[in-house]
């Protein structure tokens, strides 16, 4: 479009928007409309707007002011009124000039109801009508396209932020999957903070823990991290001053220089504070302080720029992170409680065994302590050492099923009596085999009386076919039996017991393990010489709950 056939002599008054009264963006749109109309019709249009005075006036381009006396001609006013109803362009014989008066309604994004008008000479009115309709349609399409493009841009921005958050949360969950109960809150926060800050953009992230018994507001910094870390005392003070106002939502404060508390918090500009709690357990607080400012940012001139404040998306992200950490901390507590309960149940079982045969009191615990030392010597890791300790405690639990007469008989046992004693590894296995959490003790419990030459019991296994736990327990079990006092005899001297072990190495016991045992004999003897029985509590009245 825009051919020379529509060009007329320059209209003396070319009116545009009163840009002093509207946004620059609206003014730009109006300019674009006029340019587009000029391109299409080869004629300058004037803009007519409905005013508060209930009449129609031309808008001025000159010096961006409204020409107050530019009231439109009655004919133009009537056409504008009809367009207000129909929203359709009008082409009619002009009385204000030669030719045809073309009036076109403009889309609303020009700031209120406006009509573009021009007088065009020498053209076919039907053609002008079609051209005007075509222009209106194209503007509507363009308007829709612009709207969709804008929405698309906003959605892209939201998606991009969401994606970053999602990536962070997925990384965090993946990390928790790999972690175990030994990861405490501080080590979790240490791994989380760098990823978290890619989304938080804070100068400082901090984990503060609340020592038991001091109340939630007495928080001690456990980890302070970030490009510009804030002094730990200030962070504790933030918790003291603002932690009280927490109620289900994080405390978000920007520009705290305006608050009365600011004088105590020199160095903290803004922050988000959220508690780490699960149920009624309060672990501490997480704090993001001082939103990062760009290089060369002047706070005095640009202080109000909300882009550099903490907002709802940062608060929400910190809440989610804290909620995941609190759940993990709570799970760790439950896990430790469960472990402790298991240990207590095992101790109760062993105590039942000790009560049955007071003369071997402490045997199970000493065997457990010795086994742990020997296992450590041969390369067991910490967890495996704890496991063999539990196995040691339980190794003779099957003796609960052996009759007292046989168990306590001081002299030599008959074949039948010995056969009954030999049932205790099997008895132990059958007592414990249903306990899923104690499955790991079964090999040691069942095979601690096997001998490497295959002459032991219950299965007559030999060499490496005997589980390692069983071979370790066999040595320390024999050591305790030899060196402990009995009512009918004293314990063997250390040297004699050592020579019996050495003689049996390779036949009764694993020779490499005997060698390792000799290397830790000082630690074993120290345990034996310092071992004291746990005293059983004496009940007074009631069950003591």
Residue numbers at the binding site for Fe ion (CB under 5 A): 396, 477
Nearest-approach distance from CB 508 to Fe ion, in angstroms: 14
Residue 184: Cβ within 10 Å count: 15
352 Cα distance to chain centroid: 45
**Quick one: 44 or 477, whose CB is closer to Fe ion?**
477
Q: Are 93 and 101 in contact (CB under 8 A)?
A: yes
Question: Shortest distance, CB of residue 384 to Fe ion, whole angstroms?
Answer: 20
The DSSP result for 370-397, as a single string, is HHHHHHHHTT--HHHHHHHHHHHHHTTG
Query: In 10 A of CB 106, how many CB atoms?
Result: 24
CA–CA dist 42, 409 (Å, integer): 123
Cis omega (within 30 of 0) on the bond before 527?
no
d(CA 396, CA 399): 6
Query: Is 452 in contact with 462 (CB distance < 8 Å)?
Result: yes
Q: Which is nearer to Fe ion, 79 or 468 (CB)?
A: 468
Considering the complex, what minimum distance in angstroms separates the CB of residue 525 from Fe ion?
19
Name every residue whose Cβ is closer than 8 Å to that of residue 263 and which is 6 or more positions away in sequence: none
Query: What value does the CA radius of gyration of the chain take, rounded to a whole number of Å?
Result: 44
In the complex, the smallest distance separating the C-beta of residue 445 from Fe ion, rounded to whole angstroms, is 9
Residue 341 sits at the vertex; the CA angle it makes with 338 and 343, to the nearest 5 degrees, is 115
The two three-digit tokens of residue 444, written as one number: 């040691």
Least gap, CB of 448 to Fe ion (angstroms): 6
Q: Which is nearer to Fe ion, 91 or 367 (CB)?
A: 367
d(CA 543, CA 517): 44
Q: Which is nearer to Fe ion, 46 or 424 (CB)?
A: 424
User: How far apart (Å, rounded) are the C-alpha atoms in residues 531 and 525?
Assistant: 10
Contact, 244 vs 258, CB < 8 A? Answer: no
Beta carbon of residue 483, minimum distance to Fe ion (angstroms, whole number): 13
Query: Of 195 and 361, which CB lies nearer to Fe ion in the complex structure?
Result: 361
Q: How far is the CB of 351 from Fe ion (least distance, A)?
A: 16
Whichever of 19 and 368 has its CB closer to Fe ion, that residue is 368
Judged by CB, which is closer to Fe ion: 68, or 358?
Answer: 358
C-alpha dist (Å) from residue 134 to 43, 116, 425: 16, 15, 97
Q: Which is nearer to Fe ion, 224 or 476 (CB)?
A: 476
* Closer by beta carbon to Fe ion, 133 or else 408: 408
Distance, CA of 135 to CA of 35 (rounded, Å) = 12
Q: How far is the CB of 432 from Fe ion (least distance, A)?
A: 14
Least separation in angstroms between CB 172 and Fe ion: 48
Cα(166)–Cα(427) distance, integer angstroms: 54
Q: Which of 164, 155, 227 is nearest to 199 (CA)?
A: 164
Q: Which is nearer to Fe ion, 242 or 479 (CB)?
A: 479
CB atoms within 10 A of CB 421: 17
Least distance from Fe ion to the Cβ atom of residue 395, Å: 6
Give me the least distance between CB of 418 and Fe ion, in Å please. Answer: 13
Nearest to 450 by CA among 461, 439, 441: 461
If the CB atoms of residues 203 and 450 are measured against Fe ion, the closer one turns out to be: 450
DSSP string, 225-294: ESSSPPPHHHHHHHHHHHGGG-BSB-EEE--GGGSGGGGG-TT---EEEEEEEETTEEEEEEEEEEE---
> What letter would DSSP give residue 107?
P
Q: Which of 94, 100, 85, 4 is nearest to 50 (CA)?
A: 85
Task: Provide, rounded to whole angstroms, the least separation between the CB of residue 328 and Fe ion.
Answer: 40
| 468: CB partners within 8 A, 6+ apart | 378
């Amino acid at each position: 479009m825009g051919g020379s056939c529509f060009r007329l002599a320059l209209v003396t008054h070319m009116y545009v928007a009163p840009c002093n009264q509207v946004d620059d963006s609206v003014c730009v749109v109006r300019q674009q409309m006029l340019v587009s109309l000029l391109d299409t019709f080869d004629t300058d249009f004037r803009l007519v707007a409905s005013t508060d005075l209930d009449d129609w006036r031309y808008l001025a381009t000159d010096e961006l002011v409204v020409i107050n006396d530019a009231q439109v001609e009655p004919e133009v006013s009537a056409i504008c009124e009809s367009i207000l109803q129909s929203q359709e362009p009008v082409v009619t014989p002009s009385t204000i000039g030669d030719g045809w008066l073309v009036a076109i309604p403009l889309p609303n994004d020009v700031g209120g109801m406006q009509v573009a008008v021009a007088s065009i000479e020498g053209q076919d009115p039907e053609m002008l009508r079609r051209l005007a309709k075509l222009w209106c349609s194209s503007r509507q399409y363009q308007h829709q396209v612009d709207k969709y493009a804008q929405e698309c841009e906003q959605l892209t921005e939201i998606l991009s932020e969401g994606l970053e958050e999602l990536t962070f949360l997925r990384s965090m969950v993946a990390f928790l999957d790999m972690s175990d109960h030994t990861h405490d809150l501080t080590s979790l926060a240490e791994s989380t903070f760098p990823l978290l800050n890619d989304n938080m953009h804070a100068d400082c992230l901090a984990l503060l823990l609340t020592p038991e018994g001091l109340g939630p507001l007495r928080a001690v910094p456990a980890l302070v991290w970030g490009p510009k870390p804030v002094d730990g005392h200030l962070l504790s003070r933030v918790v003291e001053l603002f932690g009280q106002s927490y109620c289900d939502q994080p405390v978000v404060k920007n520009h705290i220089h305006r608050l009365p508390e600011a004088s105590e918090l020199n160095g903290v500009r803004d922050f988000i504070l959220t508690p780490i709690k699960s149920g009624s357990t309060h672990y501490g607080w997480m704090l993001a302080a001082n939103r990062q400012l760009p290089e060369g940012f002047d706070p005095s001139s640009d202080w109000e720029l909300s882009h550099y404040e903490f907002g709802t998306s940062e608060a929400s992200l910190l809440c989610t992170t804290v909620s995941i950490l609190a759940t993990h901390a709570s799970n760790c507590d439950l896990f430790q409680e469960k472990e402790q309960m298991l240990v207590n149940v095992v101790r109760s079982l062993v105590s039942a065994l000790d009560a049955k045969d007071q003369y071997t009191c402490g045997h199970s615990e000493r065997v457990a302590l010795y086994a742990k030392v020997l296992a450590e010597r041969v390369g067991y890791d910490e967890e495996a050492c704890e496991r063999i300790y539990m196995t040691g405690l339980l190794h003779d639990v099957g003796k609960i099923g052996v009759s007292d007469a046989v168990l306590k008989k001081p002299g030599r046992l008959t074949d039948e009596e010995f056969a009954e004693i030999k049932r205790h590894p099997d008895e132990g296995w059958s007592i414990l085999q249903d306990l899923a959490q104690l499955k790991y003790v079964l090999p040691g419990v069942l095979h601690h009386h096997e001998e490497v030459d295959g002459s032991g019991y219950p299965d007559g296994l030999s060499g490496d076919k005997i589980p390692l736990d069983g071979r370790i327990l066999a040595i320390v079990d024999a050591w305790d039996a030899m060196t402990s006092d009995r009512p009918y005899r004293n314990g063997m001297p250390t040297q004699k017991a050592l020579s019996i072990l050495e003689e049996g190495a390779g036949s009764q016991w694993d020779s490499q393990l005997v060698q390792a045992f000799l290397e830790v004999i000082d630690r074993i003897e120290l345990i034996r010489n310092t071992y004291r029985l746990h005293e059983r509590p004496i009940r007074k009245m009631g069950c003591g709950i």
